[in-house]
A and B are shown apart, each in its own frame.
Chain A
Amino acid sequence: QQQVKQSPQSLIVQKGGISIINCAYENTAFDYFPWYQQFPGKGPALLIAIRPDVSEKKEGRFTISFNKSAKQFSLHIMDSQPGDSATYFCAGEGAGSYQLTFGKGTKLSVIP
């Protein structure tokens, strides 16, 4: 059972554009939703995270939008740069579980 569904699988965005990646979760016990960024040959690195008591969180060019009733959340990257080209993973974690359940990832390519 895939508990976190992520789309699109790949995304090509022009430099300066907005990148949007969507995730939907099934496990209602999840109450922590991080986004990780992974470059080739590297481990995932935390980008931004949100708890479901807020609908939006912004850090610099990165924003998470969260819709608890729809069990969906999304990552928006404003003013996308070639250096943002990486694979992005959404994830969910339940209180006390310590397990991150990841989506399948989105490969983002930002072209000049």
Chain B
Amino acid sequence: GAGVSQTPSNKVTEKGKYVELRCDPISGHTALYWYRQSLGQGPEFLIYFQGTGAADDSGLPNDRFFAVRPEGSVSTLKIQRTERGDSAVYLCASSLYVGASGYNEQFFGPGTRLTVL
């Protein structure tokens, strides 16, 4: 079946502009995650959705970053007033939900490479 897809694969923008990054999770996966991966680093957690609500947004670096998942499927990560330091690969992952006592494999998409000039 289809995996997690992310669009666009690459995004180049100018400092100060607004960008939206889209994630289509695996069908049936209720949990969705956003991570940011800077060059030479491991992915860093940004936000986690269970259904439509953001269950944990503790990783969002500041209020320029916002994410939505209005219908519990597709998610959009929104970055306002982009800065050069926002340049990174933004990864989306999804998983089945098993509750607080279990663990589910997080399936990652290929990422969106954001470059802020």
Report the nearest B residue to A6, measured CB to CB: B42
Q: A43-B110, A89-B42, A105-B42 are in contact. Are A99 and B59 (CB under 8 A)?
A: yes
Cα-based distance from A96 to B31 in the complex (angstroms): 13
A27-42: which have CB < 8 Å to B?
A: 32, 34, 36, 41-42
Is B40 a contact of A104 with CB atoms below 8 Å? yes
Cα-based distance from A32 to B59 in the complex (angstroms): 19
Q: How large is the interface on B (under 10, 10 to 19, 20 to 34, 35 or more residues)?
A: 20 to 34
Most buried by A among B42, B43, B58: B42
Q: Does B55 belong to the interface (CB within 8 Å)?
A: yes
Cα-based distance from A29 to B38 in the complex (angstroms): 25
Q: A98-B48, A99-B56 are in contact. Are A41 and B110 (CB under 8 A)?
A: yes
Q: A98-B33, A102-B43 are in contact. Are A43 and B109 (CB under 8 A)?
A: yes
Q: Does A70 belong to the interface (CB within 8 Å)?
A: no
Q: Does A46 belong to the interface (CB within 8 Å)?
A: yes
Report the nearest A residue to B9, measured CB to CB: A41
Render B38-79 as a binary contact track against A, CB cut-off 8 A, 1 for contact.
Answer: 001111110010000001101100000000000000000000
Q: Does A56 belong to the interface (CB within 8 Å)?
A: no
For A44, what are the chain B residues with a Cβ–Cβ distance below 8 Å? 43, 91, 108
Q: A44-B43, A91-B42, A95-B100 are in contact. Are A100 and B106 (CB under 8 A)?
A: yes
Question: Separation in Å of the B105 CB from the closest CB of chain A?
Answer: 5
Render A54-66 as a binary contact track against B, CB cut-off 8 A, 1 for contact.
Answer: 0000000000000
Is B4 a contact of A43 with CB atoms below 8 Å? yes
A contact residues vs B (CB 8 Å cutoff): 4, 6, 32, 34, 36, 41-46, 49, 89, 91, 93, 95-105
B contact residues vs A (CB 8 Å cutoff): 4, 31, 33, 35, 40-45, 48, 55-56, 58-59, 91, 93, 100-101, 103, 105-111
Q: Other than A95-B101, A99-B59, A100-B43, give 15 A-B pairs with Cβ distance below 8 A.
A: A34-B105, A41-B110, A44-B43, A49-B103, A49-B105, A95-B100, A96-B101, A98-B33, A98-B48, A98-B55, A100-B35, A101-B45, A102-B44, A103-B42, A105-B42
